[in-house]
């Protein structure tokens, strides 16, 4: 669900369906012709299916994975191009956009566009809902995969923290930390007219 942020793009309730799992390693558009875009309101419903001209169905490009040269925006997108997806949800939900047409999906507005000449609109994400579609086994497998993914993420964080602590202790033992801490004081002592804090009386 979105809110109008420019006064002419309108609000809307819309989304996308995909049969393909989200793939962080794709680095490009992927998916298949089972994908489609849809609009639920406030205007009459619309379903925009692939029309066969292009196959830029979807991409998932988190900043942590992005290599920069793939030219994909950080977030998720459907249709359009790498530079201008038909539907784009920004990674931090702060720069999302929608278009009325592209070469992958059928033409039609996702937002309740008040200005028909303005086919490329920015919007503010008000709410996102995600639904898993499939057998109970498919959903259970997906939930288990999510649990494992979170465990791996927590493990990487713990390892990174251990590495940072080990590096700090090593610097302490080698005297490097002390050297950095007192470097400025020592430099001041060495200047003409500098600090004379430890001069004997």
CA distance linking residue 65 with residue 68, whole number of Å: 9
Q: How big is the chain by its Cα radius of gyration, in Å?
A: 26
CA distance linking residue 39 with residue 45, whole number of Å: 5
Instruction: Spell out the per-residue pLDDT of the chain, length 201, in tens.
Output: 555 444 456 678 899 999 888 776 666 899 999 999 999 887 788 999 999 999 999 988 876 665 555 667 778 999 999 888 999 998 888 888 999 999 999 999 888 765 555 567 888 888 888 887 777 887 788 788 888 888 888 888 888 888 777 777 776 667 665 555 556 565 666 555 555 554 544
Segments making up each domain of the chain, as ranges: 1-131, 136-189
Strand order, beta sheet including 87-90: 2-4, 120-125, 96-99, 87-90, 75-78, 59-61
Whether 36 and 49 have beta carbons less than 8 Å apart is answered as yes
Check residue 24 and give its pLDDT: 62
Check residue 184 and give its pLDDT: 58
Rounded alpha-carbon distances, angstroms, from residue 13 to 2, 7, 16, 77, 149: 6, 17, 11, 16, 30
User: What tokens appear for 172 in the block?
Assistant: 């302490």
Check residue 58 and give its pLDDT: 94
Check residue 82 and give its pLDDT: 84
Please, what is the end-to-end C-alpha distance for the chain in angstroms?
75
């Amino acid at each position: 669900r979105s809110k109008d942020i420019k006064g002419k793009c309108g609000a809307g309730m819309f989304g996308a369906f995909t049969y393909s799992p989200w793939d962080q390693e794709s680095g490009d558009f992927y998916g298949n012709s089972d994908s489609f875009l849809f609009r639920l309101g406030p205007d009459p419903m619309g379903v925009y299916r692939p029309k066969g001209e292009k196959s830029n169905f979807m991409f998932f490009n988190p900043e942590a994975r992005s290599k920069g040269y793939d030219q994909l925006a950080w977030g998720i997108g459907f249709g359009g191009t790498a530079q201008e997806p038909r539907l784009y949800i920004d990674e931090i939900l702060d720069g999302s956009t929608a278009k009325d047409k592209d070469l992958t999906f059928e033409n039609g507005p996702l937002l309740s566009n008040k200005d028909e000449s303005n086919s490329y609109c920015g919007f503010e994400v008000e709410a996102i809902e995600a639904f898993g579609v499939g057998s109970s086994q498919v959903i259970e497998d997906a939930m288990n995969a999510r649990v494992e993914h979170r465990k791996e993420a927590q493990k990487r964080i713990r390892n990174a923290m251990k590495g940072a602590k080990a590096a700090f202790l090593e610097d302490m033992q080698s005297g490097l930390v002390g050297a950095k801490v007192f470097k400025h004081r020592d430099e001041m002592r060495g200047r003409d007219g500098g600090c004379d804090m430890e001069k004997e009386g």
